[in-house]
Amino acid sequence: MQPGLCAFPLTPMRDESVDDAALATLVSRLVAGGVDSVGVLGSTGVCAYLSRDERRAAIDAAVSAAGEMPVIAGVGALRTRDVLTYVEDAQAAGASALLVAPVSYHRLRQEEVFGLYADVASSSSVPVVVYENPSTTAFTFTDELYARIAQLPSIAGVKIPPPAPGTAADRVAHLRELLPADATIGVSGDWAAAEALTSGCHAWYSVLAGLFPRTARALADAAAAGDADAAHQHSSTLDPIWSLFKEHGSLRVMAAAAEALGLVDAPCLPRPLLALDEHYRPAVEDALRRTGLI
């Protein structure tokens, strides 16, 4: 499968339990908004905070609401034993691909992360996307590790953190040399998407698209059409949102937006995570209006 524009919805809570109905509503918006795939239980989907039963329920709800659209399921956890259980569960629930982050408490070594992916690769019968997100996992892949992991069976691609401005083309070209020709290189960090997608990235793993699929679609389409100016213009329009993402974390901003839109119950995040309080919330709503998102 090609993730293309892969949208990551929240996994909203209601009274500290997964709100399956609200998740299904969010996923239905993504189908209607024309994304290419749905990324359930990503970082935005608070994967790491959920029990086995909650994860199963979330994937069931997403797969059902997604219909023909492929669903990529996050299966990250601290312990390999648990990751392998979630791999089985996600496959049984109809996930088309898996997203695996090297979640850490004790900071992981390169060899440990290789071992994690080797264990997952030998258990998975669907494609596996390697998920690098140093801001949540405190782990940075070396090029050598990327190359080794990419040789494993089932490994279909990588989800890279946002390259620094001006560096995406070099980074993607370098990864292109490291990785097998059919490996998908996808970017996360929405503010870097315009540059990355016009620099050879195949996929956009997007938090913004999880709530505002049409806006993300327009940016991705401009990039796919080779219109870099238009892609960057779409992105510049969203600068107030990118600023908030960098300040508060995209999860909290999207949670506040979903609550403001009435799409989810408030609070929609699992404690100890808190939505932005009344001090910051007006800034989010103001940015949503200024960027035309609401």
Of 1 and 266, which CB lies nearer to a copy of itself in the complex structure? 266
**119 lies in the binding site for a copy of itself (CB under 8 A):** yes
> Should residue 227 be labelled a site residue for a copy of itself when binding is judged by CB under 8 A?
no
Tell me how far apart the alpha carbons of residues 218 and 130 are, in angstroms, rounded to a whole number. Answer: 26
Choices 32-40, 131-139, 168-176, 256-264; region in contact with a copy of itself by CB under 8 A: 131-139
Cα 51 from Cα 28, distance rounded (Å):
24
Residue 106 binds a copy of itself, judged by CB under 8 A: yes
- Amino acid at residue number 86: Y
Q: How many other CB atoms are found less than 10 A from the CB of residue 214?
A: 13
C-alpha separations of 87 from 16, 23, 106, 174 in Å: 24, 20, 22, 30
Catalytic positions: 131, 159
112 binds a copy of itself (CB under 8 A): yes
Q: Amino acid identity of 41?
A: L
User: Out of 107, 165, 177, 262, which residue is the one contacting a copy of itself (CB under 8 A)?
Assistant: 107
Judged by CB, which is closer to a copy of itself: 96, or 206?
Answer: 206
Which residues, 6+ apart, have CB-to-CB distance to 173 below 8 Å?
Answer: 200
Minimum separation from the CB atom of position 280 to a copy of itself (A): 10
> What is the smallest separation between the CB atom of 261 and a copy of itself, expressed in angstroms?
21
Nearer Cβ to a copy of itself, position 78 or 260? 78
Under a CB-based contact definition with an 8 Å cutoff, are residues 94 and 66 in contact?
no
How far is 267 from 275, CA to CA, in rounded Å? 6
Q: Does 149 contact a copy of itself by CB under 8 A?
A: no
Q: Identify which range of 21-29, 102-110, 202-210, 235-243 contacts a copy of itself by CB under 8 A.
A: 102-110
Q: Does 53 bind a copy of itself (CB under 8 A)?
A: no
Q: Is 44 annotated as a binding residue?
A: yes
Q: Dihedral of CA 211/188/13/55: which sign?
A: positive
